[in-house]
Amino acid sequence: MAGVYQALGDYEKALEYYEKALTVFKAELGENHPDTQSAQESVEIMKLYLMTGLNEDQLIEMIQNTPPEVLQERIQLFSNGINHTGDNHSVS
């Protein structure tokens, strides 16, 4: 379902389903399983979509041109409820 919502551009709903999948994969397969790692990456990508408001092509370009530490910092800020401009942001 997450992929369907992602394709439809409903990133909040996609994030919800990717997070549910990640929880199940961690419990059933462990942290290091490829499916768990893929789900974790999908969660992070959805957070980036929501945080930046970029489309897929723009996001890919940003990822390719931004150091991993900076991306992780932005994801962490979003997870704490603050987007890259410092505004409060929450996911319903």
- Map tokens 């890259």 to a residue: 84
Task: Calculate mean pLDDT across residues 73-88.
Answer: 59
Higher-pLDDT residue of 69 and 78 is 69
Per the CB < 8 A criterion, the answer to whether 49 and 10 are in contact is no
Task: Calculate mean pLDDT across residues 27-48.
Answer: 92
- The answer to whether the predicted template modeling score (pTM) of the entire model surpasses 0.85 is no
Q: What is the mean pLDDT of the chain?
A: 82
What is the residue extent of each domain of the chain?
2-79
